[in-house]
Structure 1
C-alpha cells in the first residue's frame, strides 16, 4: 500500500481520568524514571569498574540494564508530557519510531532473559565445563545476537505499519504510540496485519518462555540432587533474582493478553501496561542487587578504593604546598 497519509501528528490522550491529579502523577512518574536510570546506571558502573564482576552472568545483566535505560527513555519523556500538557502531540515519524523501538526492546528483553536462563543452566548443571562453554567470545556473540534478532524480528512489521494510510483520525487513547490503537485509526483493512502482529508476539513469548521453563526444569532437578542443604540454598540463590524478573514480566504479559474479555477492558490494560513499563525497569536493579552479596562487596570495594585514592591525592597536594 502507498502511504497516502493526511496525518502529520498524533494526539496522545494519556490518562484522562487522572486529569485532576496531574502534578502528583507527573512527580510519581518522574520518580520512577529517575530511579530506573539511577538503578540501571549503578549496575552498569559497578560491573565495569570491578574486575571480579566481569563474568558472563554480569555481562548479560549489563546488557539488560542498558536495555532498560533505552526502553524507559523511549517511553517516559512523552508520558511525562501527557501530565504537563492538556494536549500532547507526537509527530508521525516519531510515533512510528517509538512503536518500532518499544517492540524491538521488548523482544530483546525476552531474548536476554532466555540467554540468562541458559547461562544459569550451564553454571549449575555443567559447572566443570562452564568456563569452556561460556567464553568471552561466546557471550559477546550471544548478547549481540539478542540485539540483532530483537530488532530484525520487528523490522518488517514496522515497515508494514509505516505504509498504512491514515485519513484524518489522529487521536490515540494511550500515553504512547501502541500498535493496537494505531491500527484502529487506519483507513485500510488491517485484519491481516493484526493477525501477523499477534502471531509474531505469541511466537516469541511462547518460544522464549518454553526455553526458560526447560532450563529451570533441569536446574531445579540438579539442585535437588545436591546433598547438602547449604549447597542447595547457595545454588538456588543464584537464580532467584532472574526468576523474579521473569515471573513479573511474563505474568504481566499473560494478564494483559491471555485473560478473558481482554478487548472490553482496554483502559484497565493501559494501567497494567504502565505498571509493567514503569515498575519493572525501576525494580529490576533492586531485585538483582539487594540480596546479591557479590554486588554489595564490589560496591564497598569501590567505595574504599575511591576513598583511599582521594586521601592519597589530598596528601600529595599537601606535600607539594
Structure 2
C-alpha cells in the first residue's frame, strides 16, 4: 500500500490513531452525535413544514439549513463509523472517493451561500420591518434557495475534476477519516502549486463572498438594534439574530482554518480535527442553537409534543 500507485483505483483511509478500545469508544460517541443530529434537524424540518406560526422566510431558510446539515454529516459520518469498527485501514474505491468529496464540498458551499442569504433576511427583518413581506416574498425566497443549491453543486465540479486528474504515485493512503482534498493533493507526484492556488482562490470566493454580506448585514442590524429605546425590544431583536450569528461564527471559523490557506496540503495534524468540527460537531449543535434561543420554535415543539401525547391517549 505504501509503494508507488500511479493508477489508483482505490484509497486507504488512515482514520483515527489509537487502540481498538479507543476506536469503540469513539464509535459510540460519534454514533450518538449522528443520531441526535439526524433527529434534531429532522424535527426542525418537520415543524417548519407543518406549523403555521413558522411559515416565514426565516424558518423556510432554517429548514433548508437543517437539510444541508443532515446531508453533510451523512456524507462523512457513516463511512467514518464503519472505519472505526474495522481493524486496520479502511478501503474506499476511487469512484466512492470522488462522490464523497464532491458532495461534501458542494453541500458545504451551498450552506455558506444560504448562511449569507439568512444574514440578509435578518437585516431586512430588523432594519426594514414594514417592507419585509414585500421584499422577502415567497418567490424571492424560493429563488434564493434554488440559486444557493445550484451554485453550490456547479461551483465544485471543476475543483473535484482537477483533483482526480492528478497522478497518485507517492502512496494511496489518505491521512484522514474521509477523502480529504488536501491529503489527496499531498499524495500526487504532479506539481500542484498552481492547482492549490486556484483552489485557494475558490475557497476565498465562497467563504468571503458569503461572509461580507453577513458582516455588512450585522453591522446595520447592530446599529439599528442599539437605537431601539426599550431594553425589551433590544433583547428581542438580539435574540432573533443570536442563533444565526452563533452558527456563522462556528461554521466560518472552522472552515477558514481548513480551506483558506494557500498550501492545501499542509497541516495534516489538525485537518482531521477541523473536519470533525465541520462534519460532526456543527451539525450536532445547530438544532440546539436554533431551538434553545427561539421562542417560536420552542412553542412549536411543545405543541407537537402535546399533539403526539393526545394521539397516544386516544
The two structures have a TM-score, normalised by structure 2, of 0.92
Q: Which position in structure 1 is the counterpart of 2:95?
A: 93
Aligned pairs (5 A) from 1:60-71: 60-71=61-72
Question: How far is 1:275 from its partner?
Answer: 2.6
- Distance in structure 1 (CA, Å) of the matches to 2:61 and 2:199: 28
**Structure-2 separation of matches of 1:271 and 1:54:** 37
Deviation (angstroms), 1:249: 1.3
1:159 alignment partner in structure 2: 161
Alpha-carbon distance, 1:19 to partner: 4.7
2:75 alignment counterpart: 74
**Alignment-derived partner of residue 236 in structure 1:** 238
Cα offset, 1:245, TM superposition = 0.6
Unaligned runs of 5+ in 2: none
Matched-pair contact (CA < 8 Å) for 1:7–1:168: no
1:222-257 per-position Cα deviation (integer Å, ceiling 9, x unaligned): 111111111111111100000111111122234446
Change (3 A) 1:133 1:190: same
Q: Does structure 1 retain, via aligned residues, the 8 Å contact 2:174–2:184?
A: yes
Q: Could you say if the C-alpha distance between residues 214 and 73 of structure 1 is closer, same or farther in structure 2, counting changes exceeding 3 Å?
A: same
SS at match of 1:16: coil
The corresponding residue for 1:297 is 299
User: Is residue 6 of structure 2 the alignment partner of residue 41 of structure 1?
Assistant: no
Distance 1:143 1:257, change over 3 A: closer
Cα drift, residue 258 of structure 1: 6.7
User: Is there any run of 5+ residues in structure 1 with no aligned partner, and where?
Assistant: 315-321
Residue 167 (structure 1) shift: 3.8
What are the superposed Cα offsets for residues 93-128 of structure 1, whole Å, 9 maximum, x if unpaired? Answer: 110111111111111111111000000000000000
2:139 is aligned to: 137
Task: Tell me if the contact between 2:185 and 2:265 (Cα under 8 Å) persists in the aligned partners.
Answer: no
| Higher Rg | 1
Q: Is the 8 A contact 1:6 1:168 kept in 2?
A: no
Please tell me whether the aligned partners of residues 13 and 88 of structure 1 are also in contact (alpha carbons under 8 angstroms).
yes
Greater shift in the superposed pair: 188-197 or 84-93? 188-197
1:18 and 1:65 map into 2 onto residues whose CA distance is 34
TM-score calculated relative to the size of structure 1: 0.90
CA distance in 1, matches of 2:264, 2:101: 21
Residue 165 (structure 1) shift? 2.6
C-alpha change, 1:257 and 1:93, in structure 2 (3 Å) is: closer
Match of 1:195 among 183, 194, 197: 197
Matched position secondary structure for 2:156: helix
Q: How far is 1:272 from its partner?
A: 2.6
Aligned residue runs from structure 1 range 148-297, under 5 A = 148-167=150-169, 169-256=171-258, 265-297=267-299
SS in 2 for 1:42: helix
Contact 2:16 2:176 in 1 (8 A): yes
In structure 1, C-alpha distance between the alignment counterparts of 2:64 and 2:266, rounded to whole Å:
37
* SS across alignment from 1:247: helix
2:26 aligned partner: 25
Partner of 1:11: 12
Offset of residue 218 of structure 1: 0.5
1:104 equivalent in structure 2: 106
Q: Judge conservation of contact 1:26–1:84 (CA < 8 Å) in 2.
A: yes
d(CA) in 2 for partners of 1:137, 1:308:
37
Contact 2:203–2:260 (CA under 8 A) maintained in structure 1? no
1:252-272, Cα deviation, whole Å (9 max, x unpaired): 23444679x997642123223
- CA contact 2:204–2:260 (8 Å) conserved in 1: no
